[in-house]
């Protein structure tokens, strides 16, 4: 199945078609306004017309995103197709784990490197802490990278590292120019939301103050125009109950959001958005 996706892949149209996987039926999400029910009630197991990208300067971002609930997900062939047949250079960003003990953080990084290596990517860690207050150096380092993989952990730690390194600006620029694929799971997609409010019920926002003596950053990168809620109705994951409550709170407050179960990923390529 993966081979058929890669054989038809190209930079702007990676050959991602439902018929490429006859035994699997992705859920299409067409861009636009949700007309037949409130947008804040959207769940990953129902088809809906939504606007997953915020307009920028009057137009949509020509982005390529692979946003998984947990790890690589059940269909990594969509990720490889999205990247295409060119460069395989990949960076793993694990700053969501910066509040974890070093040995746990290291093991987490190694796990991501191994998983991406099995898919044929040439992966190495890029630690945003090495680029604090040096946005231009980070910009140079990311030039030529085909895939940025941002793993899960504490979304507030990741957001702070992106702010301090200038990664929030750099990634938006790289996405707007279609220079790379932004991918990852859990905290990695969550940080693309308009706001991180509500996620403090799951992740420790106070960790930023403890470690950096700074306030957490509550604004997301706003690449998505709705909140991303992973691990929804995923009984094996320890945070599923807490995140279900986050989704309930968003629904009650009519906060637009998308819920994904573990194994699922939101795939966005230009104007096309699909749950796989």
User: In the predicted model, is pLDDT for residue 245 greater than 50?
Assistant: yes
Average pLDDT, integer, range 123-133:
98
Angle (deg, nearest 10), helices 167-176 and 155-165: 80
What residue has token string 């968003």? Answer: 250
Predicted pLDDT at 80: 95
pLDDT in tens, 247-261: 888 888 888 988 898
Write down the mean pLDDT value for the chain: 80
* Residue 29, token pair as written in the block: 């999400």
- Map out the domains of the chain as residue ranges: 2-11+25-275
Which DSSP category does 94 fall into? Answer: -
The answer to whether the pTM exceeds 0.95 is no
Class in CATH terms, 2-11+25-275: alpha beta
Q: What is the pLDDT of residue 54?
A: 42
How many other C-beta atoms can be found within 10 angstroms of the C-beta atom of residue 254? 11
CA atoms within 13 A on the CB side of 3: 0
The pLDDT of residue 117 is above 90 = yes
Please give the backbone phi and psi of residue 56, each rounded to the nearest 5 degrees, phi first: -125, 125
Q: Output the pLDDT for position 142.
A: 97
> How sure is the predictor about 56, in pLDDT bands with cuts at 50, 70 and 90?
very low
- The model's pLDDT over 229-239, given as tens digits with 9 standing for 90+, comes to 988 778 788 78
Phi (first) and psi of residue 92, to 5 degrees: -105, 125
Tokens encoding 72: 């690589």
Q: Find all residues with CB under 8 Å of 188, minimum gap 6, and list them.
A: 67, 93, 96, 149, 150, 151, 152, 158
- With a cut of 70, say whether residue 163 has pLDDT above it: yes
**What does the pLDDT read at residue 61?**
54
What tokens does 204 get?
A: 């420790």
Find tokens 């307009």 and name the residue: 55
pLDDT attached to residue 141? 97
Task: State the pLDDT at residue 7.
Answer: 28
pLDDT tens by residue, 138-151: 999 999 999 999 99
State both tokens at 242. Answer: 């807490």
């Amino acid at each position: 199945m993966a081979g058929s996706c890669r054989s038809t892949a190209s930079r702007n149209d990676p050959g991602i078609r439902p018929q490429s996987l006859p035994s699997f039926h992705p859920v299409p999400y067409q861009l636009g306004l949700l007309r037949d029910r409130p947008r804040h009630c959207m769940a990953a197991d129902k088809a809906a017309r939504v606007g997953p990208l915020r307009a920028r300067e009057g137009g949509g971002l020509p982005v390529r995103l692979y946003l998984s609930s947990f790890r690589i997900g059940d269909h990594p062939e969509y990720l490889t197709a999205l990247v295409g047949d060119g460069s395989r250079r990949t960076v793993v960003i694990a700053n969501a784990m910066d509040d974890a003990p070093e040995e746990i953080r290291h093991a987490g990084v190694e796990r991501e490197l191994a998983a991406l290596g099995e898919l044929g990517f040439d992966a190495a860690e890029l630690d945003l802490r090495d680029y604090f207050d040096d946005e231009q150096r980070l910009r140079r380092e990311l030039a030529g990278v085909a895939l940025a993989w941002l793993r899960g952990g504490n979304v507030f730690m990741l957001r702070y590292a992106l702010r301090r390194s200038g990664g929030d600006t750099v990634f938006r620029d790289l996405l707007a120019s279609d220079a790379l694929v932004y991918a990852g799971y859990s905290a990695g997609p969550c940080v693309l939301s308009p706001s991180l409010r509500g996620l403090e019920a799951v992740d420790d926002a106070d960790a930023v103050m403890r470690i950096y003596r700074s306030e957490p950053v509550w604004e997301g990168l706003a690449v998505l125009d709705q909140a991303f809620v992973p691990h929804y109705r995923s009984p094996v994951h320890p945070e599923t109950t807490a995140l279900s409550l986050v989704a309930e709170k968003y629904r009650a407050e009519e906060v637009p959001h998308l819920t994904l179960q573990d194994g699922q990923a939101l795939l966005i390529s230009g104007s096309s958005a699909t749950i796989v």
